[in-house]
Amino acid sequence: MSAGVVIDVVSGRGRVGCKGPGAPAWLEKHGITVPDAPNRYAIDSSGVLSARLATSEFLIEATNDGAASVVEPVRRALEYADFPQGVYPVLRQDFVLEISGAEAAGLFNQTCAVDLEPVARQSTAADGPVIMTSMIGVSVVLVCQQLSEGRRFSVWSDPSYSAYFHSQLLAIVTDRGTSP
Amino acid sequence: MKRIDPVPGEWIDRTRRVGFMFEGRPVEGFQGDTYSSALLANDIHVLGRSFKYHRPRGVLSAANHDVNVMFQVEHSAQAGGSRSVPNVRGDVEPLRADANITVVNTSGGVERDRMAMMDRFSRFLPVGFYYKAFHSKRTFPRWERMIRRAAGLGHVDPRATRRPTAKRYAHTDVLVIGAGPSGLAAAVEAAERGAQVLLADDTARPGGSGLYTRGGGNVDRRVTELAAAALAHPRIQFLAQTFASGYYADLWVPLVAGDHLIKVRARAVVVAQGAFEQPAVFRGNDLPGVMLASGAQRLMYRYAVAPASRVAILTANSEGYLAALDAKARGLDVLGVLDLRESVHESETRLVETVRARGISIRYGVQPVEARAGADHRLSEIEFEVTARDGGPSRHRWMVDGLWMSVGFAPANQLLHQAGARMRFDAAIQQFVPERLPPGVFACGKVAGYFDLAGRLTNGRETGAAAAEHAGVGPTRSSSTSSSVPGSTSSSTSGGALGSTSSSAPGAGAKGPNHPRAARGSPSHEYPIFPHPKGKEFVDFDEDLHLRDIANAFQEGFDSSELLKRYSTVGMGPSQGKHSNLNAMRVLARLRGESVETVGATTSRPMFHPVPLSHLAGRAFYPQRRTALHSEHEALGAVWMPAGDWQRPEYYARTDEARKASIEAEVRAVRTGVGLIDVGTLGKIEAHGAGAAGFLDRAYAGQFSTLKVGMTRYGLLLDESGVIVDDGVIARLGDERFYFTTTTGNSGSLFREFGRLATWWRLPVGLVNLTGHFSAFNIAGPAARAVLAELTPVDLSQAAFPYLGVREGEVAGVRCRLMRVGFVGEIGYEIHLPAGDATTVWRALMRAGERHGIRAFGVEAQRILRLEKGHIIVGQDTDGLTNPLEINAGWAVRMNKPFFVGQRSLRILESRPLRQQLVGFKLRDGSAARPKESHLIIDAGRIAGRVTSIVESPTLGATIGLALVDPDMAKRNELHIRVERGEEVVVTVVPLPFYDAPGARQRLEEAAASPLETTA
């Protein structure tokens, strides 16, 4: 595991969102397996992350270049007004961070009131709970992956907060003390 | 030097000497010393001056409550220059080599404080002195200055730089507050059962009183083993020098560490904070040398300092006898034990024999008369009376330099009070104990009334088990709990844990005569208070209150605990009554002829202990949002202004223009050419589904189920009382698909409210918040259509794309939504598009508009433009009571709908006279003074309204504004506005809008050729 905190900005990944009663079946038809339960995520073998944010709301993201070829057709299918009945497009222009490193927990305990330890314990490299919470005062969607090199948290937020995220996390990482 | 031989377990490092300056003289201590212990080791005993009378004071508790020993500490080697910190508590602050310390609240130094003369005038400073003397407004400022000079504490150093003090969150199964024997036992037991435990203690090492109450021997093995087990346990995190500053709902406890605050959310909280030893009240009980026995024990065992050479122990419990043995073991001359009681409890017989065997005499039925000081201000002599068993009253004088008091305790139960615990006074042990605790809150050890070590350990262990169970952590071992916890004993007489795992199972507080501690005698004397004809028997050391003050306050009618506190200020000093409240309540109870339980304790509020403001301020999070075009605005010279969470360009500064000129040029560009404004901060929401139209019909005052696809309509949002809360534009993109905007500041809260309403109404509607993901800008002005036409294949003709139409199509190759709206009163198109593409389209528009003199315009220009058009801004031109009828917006309301939010209230309001009405006005030519927003409209000397908006219109060459006024004022020709310095300005009421009343320009009805039509 990397020492300190590693923060990667991965906003540029292919990403699409949709909701509506017809969304699960429609996504399945496009080769995207969605988690069975709300507030869960799963990453399939090709690297497509599918997060079920509510009963019928989904965030789909390509975690690698290969997965982008799966996600892009879905995104394009929702780009115009003739999208299928019961499926509503959700534009996702998120600012996305991946946070890892030995002291990532120390960063989170200064920025987020939610106990992420149980989240991490319930997560594997390919699935786990989805947490909707607040970080530095901003609403975020958060998941954790337990990788061989350690835990990695992915954080999605509204893109209008990107500069604020940059400045706050940098300040905290710069003068972070020991965690309790 | 008063340093004694090395003591096992001492906290000092004798190999590392630390020098510092005290009141201008060099002093030396050891690493690990506090300032107080180092000064005592150097035979310096007068460490401070009292608050009011400037009496010499020394160590009292050595437990973070010596509020008369506070220093101004200057660290000359501080990074970034020297820094001076006020009110540093000498009894706990670790020694630092670079420190230069002075005593606060003196004039001329601690030894020769000129303000000491105040002591001689004490009878002129009775209780309530402030209230009686300073009621005159004329003389108060002089008194205030004088009092502040005389009674102030340290001074704040303006050179101090801001220190980042991060706040942290921590989560745990069990939080144990206090690492004394019972807290340690609770922590280890809970951890053994699988719980994650945070164990916090305000000292540097775990063990609490178990480390220094030794009875002349070594630390009890059970305590050392427990401490070692806690420190080594993988599920226990020990937070040293960290205290809990309060208790908040739902097991939420802030912990104050050295440089930061930790907000702990626990599944169970165990309060094991022990008890504060209490002083006896007698004349001279504040002299340096008179201290709590536990304070002396701390000094001897932590810092190997003998606070005196010849001591007497004033006691009423077994702890005093243990302190006598400790003093003897450390080589002090113990003149005797002075027991306030007529006899000891039978359980103490062996202890008494041990004390006698050490050659220490014991007197019973003692009443202290007076403690006297020598020329060095230190205790030199005590006088006491002995009654009863020794054959009638006899008066004695002992020459001593130490008098250690061990006459009772007050439980540290402030957090339990804050948690909502119900307490009862247990007369058998003279202490409040928890009777019922809230779910998840537990108490153990002395705070719960258990004082003997075995009882505390058993009680702690049982409490730890109960806390773990409450936290949802089950037993993990098959063996009995006592076998796995170091220090556990089967001989304990302790009762059950004082906690509960549910509200139906209240904590079982130990009861009356069966209380295990009662069987060993009370640790607290019921009335250790001894009046003296000359007074100076101090009840409160913080505020210099003596016995007579309490009696006088009672006599003046302040006869309840809360009134007494406020009038006399007892318990309101820096120690917050930790050493005074109980005795004050005892005195009050006796004066009222009632029990202490009847009198009750005063309310305990956070903070439990003073918390540095830097900790509370900490790092705050104030989210700030930027639109996707932020860098474009920067490049154009934007001058920023906040708009809710957002940063928006107020205007674009140009080097050759002043602010006003820039804004006017931006207005002019829109009126005569073309302007472009970023409106990406608007809330942007989509509604999908068969219920979308019905949802909007119910949420908004207008009707949207009749809106044609491809058209937009203005929407007013009301609350249940018919008050306007927001407005926006609703566009119908398809039969079951709407896109609508909200005001900038309300987007987040409204989206949540819409979600709530959709769920409540059970409508088949899906809502999508696009606010940050979508960008939006408005291109407006006579040339707007021409500029846009260069970049889009969308047919912009009047026939194909009429006013209030909405179309989807590409602009500069990017798929956008175009809405023909007219907020600024010219033909305009709001362009909505994905935030990631915003820069591309913005730049393309700016390029295409160059030949038309396109200019970006900011919020200030937009405010002028919309006011010229008479358009309101919700929240500025409306207030918390304004309904649509009052702003002439009835046209936006469809009362004939079956239902919408606010409809019922509006129906009632329709039948009543208007409360106020929005009018337009124009400042008359030649007016010298210019009204401002919120200036009042005056009619016959009464307030008849207020100005809501006012601007200088460059288009109209006049100052125009809106005002909410009494309805009858709206019919008049003029209004009187009161401006600064009481002047009145007369303005002319004019019809709205001020500009282009027919709306031809925004509708593009011969707009380019039509002259400006104005009312102003």
| B94-127 residue pLDDT tens | 999 989 999 999 999 999 999 899 888 888 888 8
Mean pLDDT calculated for residue range B427-438: 93
Mean pLDDT calculated for residue range B995-1004: 85
Residue A88's closest chain B neighbor by CA?
Answer: B688
Q: What is the ipTM of this complex?
A: 0.94
Instruction: Return the pLDDT at B388.
Output: 62
pLDDT reading at B662 higher than 60: yes
Burial of B886 (0-12, 13-18, 19+ CB in 10 A): buried
The C-alpha angle B786, B789, B792, rounded to 5 degrees, equals 160
Residues of A in contact with B678 (CB under 8 A): none
- Nearest by CB: A93 against B239, B260, B836: B836
Instruction: Return the pLDDT at B222.
Output: 97
pLDDT reading at B706 higher than 60: yes
pLDDT reading at B272 higher than 60: yes
Asked whether the beta carbons of A134 and A113 are under 8 A apart, the reply is yes
The identity of residue B698, as a single letter, is R
pLDDT reading at B505 higher than 60: no
Distance of CA B453 to the CA centre of its chain: 37
Is the Cβ of A179 closer than 8 Å to some Cβ of chain B? yes
Is the Cβ of A91 closer than 8 Å to some Cβ of chain B? yes
Is the Cβ of A12 closer than 8 Å to some Cβ of chain B? no
CB spacing of B171 vs A92 below 8 angstroms:
no
Chain A to chain B, count of Cβ pairs less than 8 Å apart?
A: 104
Mean pLDDT calculated for residue range B314-335: 97
Question: How many residues make up chain A in this entry?
Answer: 180
Which of B854, B860, B868, B864 is closest to B674 using CA atoms?
B854
Is the Cβ of A158 closer than 8 Å to some Cβ of chain B? yes
CA distance B686 to B706: 18
Mean pLDDT calculated for residue range B752-761: 96
| B758-777 residue pLDDT tens | 999 999 999 999 999 999 99
Q: Which band of pLDDT confidence, cut at 50, 70 and 90, is reported for residue B815?
A: very high
Whole-angstrom CA distances from B637 to A45, B643, B766, B856 are 49, 18, 40, 10
Q: Is B829 helix (H, G, I), strand (E, B) or coil?
A: strand
CA distance B570 to B546: 10
Residue A106's closest chain B neighbor by CA?
Answer: B168
Residue A20's closest chain B neighbor by CA?
Answer: B766
Asked whether the beta carbons of B151 and B51 are under 8 A apart, the reply is yes
What DSSP designation does B264 have?
Answer: E
Mean pLDDT calculated for residue range B27-45: 97
pLDDT reading at B498 higher than 50: no
CA contacts within 13 A on the Cβ side of B46 = 19
Asked whether the beta carbons of A132 and A141 are under 8 A apart, the reply is yes
Best residue in B201, B614, B625 to probe A by mutation, most A CBs within 10 Å? B625
CA distance A9 to A95: 8
Q: Which band of pLDDT confidence, cut at 50, 70 and 90, is reported for residue B487?
A: very low
- Nearest by CB: A159 against B198, B734, B773: B773
Mean pLDDT lowest for which of B305-319, B473-487, B985-999? B473-487
Please tell me the distance in Å from A78's CA to the nearest CA on chain B: 13
Asked whether the beta carbons of B821 and B830 are under 8 A apart, the reply is yes
Q: Which of residues 23-62 of A touch B (CB under 8 A)?
A: 56
- Nearest by CB: A160 against B264, B625, B734: B625
Please tell me the distance in Å from A1's CA to the nearest CA on chain B: 21
Q: In chain B, pLDDT over 90 holds for what percent of residues?
A: 80
Q: Is B96 helix (H, G, I), strand (E, B) or coil?
A: coil
CB spacing of B169 vs A161 below 8 angstroms:
no
Q: Is B128 helix (H, G, I), strand (E, B) or coil?
A: coil
CB spacing of A164 vs B626 below 8 angstroms:
yes
- Nearest by CB: A88 against B264, B688, B815: B688
Q: Residue B817 is inside which H or E element, if any?
A: strand B814-820
Residues of A in contact with B263 (CB under 8 A): 113
The identity of residue B518, as a single letter, is A
Helix residue ranges per DSSP H, B887-950: 903-910
Instruction: Return the pLDDT at B391.
Output: 62
CA distance A96 to B266: 30
| B196-252 residue pLDDT tens | 999 999 999 999 999 999 999 999 999 999 999 999 999 999 999 999 999 999 999
- Nearest by CB: A20 against B259, B621, B766: B766
Where are the extended beta strands (E) located within A12-126?
15-19, 40-43, 48-54, 57-62, 88-90, 95-100
Cis peptide before B513 (omega within 30 of 0): no
Residues of A in contact with B198 (CB under 8 A): 180
- H helices, E strands: number in chain A: 5, 10
Structure tokens at B819: 């809405």
Distance of CA B491 to the CA centre of its chain: 45
Structure tokens at A178: 């020991």
Q: Which residues pair with B261 in a beta bridge?
A: B167, B256
Instruction: Return the pLDDT at B517.
Output: 58
Helix residue ranges per DSSP H, B498-560: 547-555
Instruction: Return the pLDDT at B803.
Output: 94
CA distance B623 to B776: 21
Is the Cβ of A161 closer than 8 Å to some Cβ of chain B? yes
Instruction: Return the pLDDT at B608.
Output: 87
Distance of CA B994 to the CA centre of its chain: 49
Model-level pTM? Answer: 0.84
Best residue in A76, A93, A161 to probe B by mutation, most B CBs within 10 Å? A93
Question: Mean pLDDT per segment of 10 residues, for chain A of length 180 residues?
Answer: 84 95 94 96 97 96 95 89 85 96 91 92 96 95 96 96 94 64
Mean pLDDT calculated for residue range B872-889: 95
Q: In chain B, pLDDT over 70 holds for what percent of residues?
A: 93
CA contacts within 13 A on the Cβ side of B69 = 30
pLDDT reading at B742 higher than 80: yes
Residues of B in contact with A56 (CB under 8 A): 766
Residues of A in contact with B735 (CB under 8 A): none
C-beta neighbour count of B240 within 10 angstroms: 16
Is the Cβ of A97 closer than 8 Å to some Cβ of chain B? no
Asked whether the beta carbons of B934 and B945 are under 8 A apart, the reply is no
Q: Which band of pLDDT confidence, cut at 50, 70 and 90, is reported for residue B499?
A: very low
Residues of A in contact with B170 (CB under 8 A): 109, 180
CB spacing of B621 vs A88 below 8 angstroms:
no
Q: Is B263 helix (H, G, I), strand (E, B) or coil?
A: strand
Q: Which residues pair with B310 in a beta bridge?
A: B333
pLDDT reading at B1010 higher than 60: no
| B979-988 residue pLDDT tens | 988 899 999 9
Strands B441-443 and B498-499: antiparallel
Asked whether the beta carbons of B994 and B1015 are under 8 A apart, the reply is yes
pLDDT reading at B501 higher than 60: no
Q: Is B299 helix (H, G, I), strand (E, B) or coil?
A: helix
CB spacing of B815 vs A113 below 8 angstroms:
no
Instruction: Return the pLDDT at A179.
Output: 40
pLDDT reading at B967 higher than 70: yes
Residues of B in contact with A160 (CB under 8 A): 625-628, 646, 771-772, 835
Structure tokens at A23: 């969304």
Residues of A in contact with B688 (CB under 8 A): 20, 88
Instruction: Return the pLDDT at B509.
Output: 38
CB spacing of A180 vs B255 below 8 angstroms:
yes
Q: How does DSSP assign B322-384, residue by residue?
A: HHHHHHHHTT-EEEEEEESSSS--GGGHHHHHHHHHTT-EEE-SEEEEEEEE-TTSSEEEEEE
What's chain B's average pLDDT?
91
Per the model's pLDDT, the better-predicted residue between B810 and B1011 turns out to be B810
CA distance B82 to B86: 13
| B346-397 residue pLDDT tens | 999 999 999 999 999 999 999 999 999 999 999 999 999 998 655 678 999 9
Q: What are phi and psi of B684, to 5 degrees?
A: -135, 120
Best residue in B162, B165, B167, B169 to probe A by mutation, most A CBs within 10 Å? B169
Is the Cβ of A166 closer than 8 Å to some Cβ of chain B? no
Q: Is B310 helix (H, G, I), strand (E, B) or coil?
A: strand
